[in-house]
């Protein structure tokens, strides 16, 4: 197949629309089910690159959950603790390593992942398909599908779920093009290889990076490589836990991603784990209720009529003091930035979310101030020397 016509572009008024290869080449993808759209394919091709690089760098199956051409979550296939199984709603499922990777990617920011595009580094197996089958999602890209897994996915969305298979051996041309306002841009592809060697230039007094920190910093960097800039990523336990994408100010990225990371940790608070939902409430509604419960507006937002339709018994509020105390115990979080930190306010905000290891390009005229701030808090920081802007 040399080209694929699409229903429309980014918006219904943008017609005609299609994807194709320059020079009459064959497309490296096959649509096995559904009719993916323009934005679906943007998500598919960005997310596929991310998971392919994660697996190459860390040797583990990888998954990503994409929304609007940025990852809501990305992860590798490490086993889940009982707590993570509970907050990801997968306690009742058999989980393969690949299913663990997607449960983590989806669980990083379940609010943002609603209606996501999924990427898997490996052939989709039955446990992963069963997990995907009960989540609200637009589509998936993977290098292949077990026959039973494909049949499970074909049953989603009344048979219209988008399933795309990509040739894992496909290598794009070294130069890429993009049209904006009728003008063609050309640049070399970002072929930067990211692995633990990217972390060798540690510029702080603390020179120690644990193996877990190295893994999580690599995850953060590869995630940032495919996140709309400016972007900052918090990672822990083999997955992203907060991605701040597309902000004009870096401190806003750091705050946005940090707030998401805090919510991920607060979902594990005993009071949240003990929430007693009515049996008929769906997982997305539970996610929404938890998000409100964790927020400072819980007592104002949840009126009697709302909680009676959500919880079997009205939960006691999670107070600001309790949240502050819980987050004070968070540590060993890793953080990556796609460009240098211009001010030390980013470090101060990151520290509040338990960050103990940072990777960033460096190169600011205020690098010394940022390094001093890390030294003050005992944070280890590596400079890569390479920016990771993505637009």
CA dihedral 286→91→222→181, nearest 10 degrees, is -40
Cα–Cα distance list, 345 to 111, 221, 369 (Å): 27, 21, 10
CA–CA separation, 277 vs 313, rounded Å? 8
Whether residue 391 lies in the annotated active site: yes
> 10 Å Cβ neighbour count for 348?
14
CA–CA separation, 38 vs 19, rounded Å? 8
Task: Give the pLDDT score at 314.
Answer: 82
Task: Give the pLDDT score at 299.
Answer: 63
> 10 Å Cβ neighbour count for 312?
12
- Model confidence pLDDT, tens digit, residues 103-154: 999 999 999 999 999 999 999 999 999 999 999 999 999 999 999 999 999 9
- Model confidence pLDDT, tens digit, residues 80-112: 999 999 999 999 999 999 999 999 999 999 999
Taking residues 160-171, report their average pLDDT.
Answer: 96
Rounded to 5°, the CA angle 340-345-351 comes to: 95
Catalytic residue among 52, 67, 236, 269: 67
> What are φ and ψ of residue 382, in 5° steps?
-110, 145
- Model confidence pLDDT, tens digit, residues 39-78: 999 999 999 999 999 999 999 999 999 999 999 999 999 9
Q: Which residues pair with 64 in a beta bridge?
A: 74, 119
Q: Which two tokens stand for residue 58?
A: 């860390």
Task: Give the pLDDT score at 302.
Answer: 59
Q: Taking 60 as the threshold, does the pLDDT of residue 304 lie above it?
A: no
Task: Give the pLDDT score at 305.
Answer: 60
Q: Taking 80 as the threshold, does the pLDDT of residue 298 lie above it?
A: no
Task: Give the pLDDT score at 179.
Answer: 92
Task: Give the pLDDT score at 307.
Answer: 72
Q: Which segment of 156-165, 212-221, 303-312, 343-352 scores lowest on mean pLDDT?
A: 303-312
Whether residue 265 lies in the annotated active site: no
> What are φ and ψ of residue 246, in 5° steps?
65, 30
Catalytic residue among 156, 230, 265, 390: 230
Task: Give the pLDDT score at 303.
Answer: 57
* Burial call 148-176: b when 16+ CB within 10 Å, e when fewer: ebbebbbebeeeebbbbbbeeeeeeeeee
Task: Give the pLDDT score at 329.
Answer: 96
Rounded to whole angstroms, the maximal C-alpha distance in the chain is 64
Task: Give the pLDDT score at 300.
Answer: 63
Whether residue 177 lies in the annotated active site: no
Q: What is the pTM of this model?
A: 0.95
pLDDT confidence tier of residue 322, bands split at 50, 70 and 90: very high
Task: Give the pLDDT score at 13.
Answer: 94
Cβ within 8 Å of residue 270, ≥6 positions away: none
Taking residues 188-217, report their average pLDDT.
Answer: 96
- Model confidence pLDDT, tens digit, residues 6-37: 999 999 999 999 999 888 789 999 999 999 99
Q: Taking 80 as the threshold, does the pLDDT of residue 312 lie above it?
A: yes
Classify residue 193 by burial, with Cβ atoms within 10 Å: 0-12, 13-18, 19+. exposed
CA-closest candidate to residue 119, choices 37, 52, 38, 196: 52
Task: Give the pLDDT score at 37.
Answer: 95
The alpha-carbon radius of gyration of the chain (Å, integer) is: 21
Bridging pattern class, strands 380-383 and 62-67:
unpaired
Whether residue 68 lies in the annotated active site: yes
DSSP 164-214: EEE-TT----SEEEEEETTEEEEEE------SGGGG--B-SS-----HHHH
CA-closest candidate to residue 118, choices 42, 56, 222, 43: 43
Give alpha helix (H) positions in the chain: 38-58, 82-87, 97-107, 110-113, 126-133, 147-154, 211-225, 250-266, 270-273, 283-294, 298-301, 304-308, 320-328, 345-352, 367-377
Q: Taking 90 as the threshold, does the pLDDT of residue 306 lie above it?
A: no
- What does pLDDT average to over the chain? 94
Catalytic residue among 158, 169, 207, 391: 391
pLDDT confidence tier of residue 256, bands split at 50, 70 and 90: very high
């Amino acid at each position: 197949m040399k080209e694929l016509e699409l229903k429309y572009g980014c918006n219904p008024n943008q017609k005609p629309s299609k994807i194709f290869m320059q020079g009459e080449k064959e497309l490296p993808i096959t649509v096995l089910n559904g009719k993916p759209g323009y934005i679906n394919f943007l998500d598919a091709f960005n997310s596929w690159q991310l998971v392919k690089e994660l697996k190459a760098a860390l040797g583990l199956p990888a998954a990503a959950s994409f929304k609007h051409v940025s990852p809501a979550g990305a992860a590798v296939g490490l086993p889940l603790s009982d707590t993570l199984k509970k907050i990801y709603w997968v306690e009742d499922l058999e989980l393969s390593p690949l299913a663990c990777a997607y449960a983590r990617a989806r669980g990083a920011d379940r609010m943002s992942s609603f209606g996501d595009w999924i990427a898997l580094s490996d052939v989709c197996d039955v446990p992963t398909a069963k997990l995907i089958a009960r989540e609200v999602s637009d589509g998936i890209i993977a290098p292949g599908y077990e026959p039973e897994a494909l049949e499970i996915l074909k049953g989603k969305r009344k048979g219209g779920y988008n399933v795309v298979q990509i040739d894992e051996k496909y290598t794009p041309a070294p130069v890429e093009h993009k049209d904006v306002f009728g003008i063609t841009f050309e640049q070399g592809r970002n072929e930067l290889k990211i692995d633990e060697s990217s972390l060798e230039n540690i510029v702080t007094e603390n020179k120690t990076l644990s193996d877990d920190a190295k893994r999580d910093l690599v995850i953060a960097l590869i995630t940032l490589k495919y996140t709309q800039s400016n972007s900052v990523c918090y990672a822990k336990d083999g997955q992203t836990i907060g991605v701040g994408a597309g902000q004009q100010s870096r401190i806003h990225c750091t705050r946005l991603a940090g707030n998401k990371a805090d919510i991920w940790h607060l979902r594990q608070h005993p009071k949240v784990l003990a929430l007693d939902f009515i049996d008929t409430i769906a997982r997305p509604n539970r996610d929404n209720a938890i998000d409100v419960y964790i927020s400072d507006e819980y007592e104002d937002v949840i009126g009697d009529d709302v909680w009676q339709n959500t919880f079997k018994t009205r939960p006691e509020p999670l107070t600001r003091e309790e949240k502050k105390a819980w987050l004070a115990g968070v540590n060993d979080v890793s953080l990556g930035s796609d460009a240098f930190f211009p001010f030390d306010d980013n470090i101060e905000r990151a520290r509040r979310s338990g960050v103990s290891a940072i990777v960033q390009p460096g190169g600011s005229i205020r690098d010394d101030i940022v390094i001093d701030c890390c030294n003050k808090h005992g944070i280890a920081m590596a400079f890569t020397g390479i920016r990771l802007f993505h637009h």
